[in-house]
Amino acid sequence: MKVFSPILACLALAVVASHAALSPEQYWSYKLPNTPMPKAVKEILHPELMEEKSTSVNVGGGGVNVNTGKGKPGGDTHVNVGGKGVGVNTGKPGGGTHVNVGDPFNYLYAASETQIHEDPNVALFFLEKDMHPGATMSLHFTENTEKSAFLPYQTAQKIPFSSDKLPEIFNKFSVKPGSLKAEMMKNTITECEQPAIEGEEKYCATSLESMIDYSISKLGKVDQAVSTEVEKQTPMQKYTIAAGVQKMTDDKAVVCHKQNYAYAVFYCHKSETTRAYMVPLEGADGTKAKAVAVCHTDTSAWNPKHLAFQVLKVEPGTIPVCHFLPRDHIVWVPK
């Protein structure tokens, strides 16, 4: 004879609490009840919190529409896209559109000469021994001009995300093949399809829910999810490390980097050789920041011509390499 158990019934209901039944915020609270949501995630969920909107994603019964805004009229345009290190030049005489991609947070990439001299992310790399109160660094925490929003999990699951489906993807989002937007989206998918470097696992999350699930699956219980926060947008300036540097993890972490795409996509990788810190900074103009720093203790599998090695003048696998994270990237730390 089967006995009805209220406890089992409640457990069953909890399991049924699916992506479809919950908003992204509710899903976060359900899966991570004791983990505050980082500012980077709040701003993507609520674009009105951002200073300016560049890309909006509207999801309705008629499908998915993307409004990418308009560029500056006339002449050449140069765009530095926050954490991605993407140099874009448009309007060159007879040149068409050229996208030069060298993502400084993909460790398989070799840096170009242009990137070494022009990429604002160059300043984000440093050595762990230089991370102490009183140390000064010239930094520029750029904002990503791609203000793409999260799609609901169920919607994202129905949209293809692979290089062999690019024509279908471009058509769905009304993106012209060969355009600047198309090249950025193509580069993101290509990067997501590349194999992970030795010693790491990678995953591209196409929704907040899938990023939460991936991080929990790799870390078990999540203690913190954090992002860099800066009081205001400033130009490149000197920052001083203040007292109170906090080590959040000594080995294992999941780091998720925001990509350039029609909607919010995060390139996440789990590493067992990562130390993560929260570093208080004060700018020369008085601007305060809480910057997330990630130190990689094993760089032996990185491209020898990666940006970090060329800037810091060190060899792969010899010394921990650190970098601050741009404002729309997230570090997940285990309990």
Question: What is the DSSP track for 278-330?
Answer: EEEEEETTS-EEEEEEEEES--TTS-TT-HHHHHHT--TTSS-EEEEPPTT-E
Show the tokens assigned to 248.
């959040």
pLDDT for residue 175: 96
- pTM (predicted TM-score): 0.75
What does the mean pLDDT of the chain come to? 77
pLDDT tens track for 79-125: 232 344 333 222 333 333 333 334 556 555 555 556 555 555 555 78
Tell me the mean pLDDT in the region 271-293.
93
pLDDT band at 180 (very low <50, low <70, confident <90, very high): very high
pLDDT at 72 over 60: no
Question: Percent of the chain beyond pLDDT 90?
Answer: 47
pLDDT for residue 81: 27
pLDDT for residue 144: 64
Tell me the mean pLDDT in the region 43-63.
50
Question: Who contacts 261 (Cβ-Cβ below 8 Å, separation ≥6)?
Answer: 146, 148, 184, 185, 188
pLDDT for residue 273: 85
Lowest mean pLDDT among 22-26, 72-76, 77-81, 277-281: 77-81
CA distance 143 to 228: 11
Q: Is 144 helix (H, G, I), strand (E, B) or coil?
A: coil
Torsion sign over Cα 192, 193, 199, 203? positive
Task: Determine phi and psi for 272, rounding to 5 degrees.
Answer: -100, 0
In terms of Cβ atoms closer than 10 Å to its own Cβ (0-12, 13-18, 19+), residue 282 is middle
pLDDT tens track for 208-220: 999 999 999 999 9
CA distance 26 to 45: 12
Helix (H) or strand (E) holding 67: strand 63-67
Q: Say which residue the tokens 């040149």 belong to.
A: 95
pLDDT tens track for 139-149: 888 776 667 89
pLDDT at 301 over 90: no
pLDDT at 166 over 90: yes
Tell me the mean pLDDT in the region 126-131.
89
Question: Who contacts 327 (Cβ-Cβ below 8 Å, separation ≥6)?
Answer: 39, 40, 82, 83, 141, 142, 143, 144, 227, 228, 229, 230
Tell me the mean pLDDT in the region 150-173.
95
CA distance 296 to 277: 12
Higher pLDDT, 299 or 268: 268
Higher pLDDT, 313 or 262: 262
pLDDT for residue 96: 33
Helix (H) or strand (E) holding 17: none
CA distance 55 to 46: 13
Query: Nearest to residue 278, comparing CAs of 292, 298, 259?
Result: 292
pLDDT at 291 over 90: yes
Q: Is 110 helix (H, G, I), strand (E, B) or coil?
A: coil
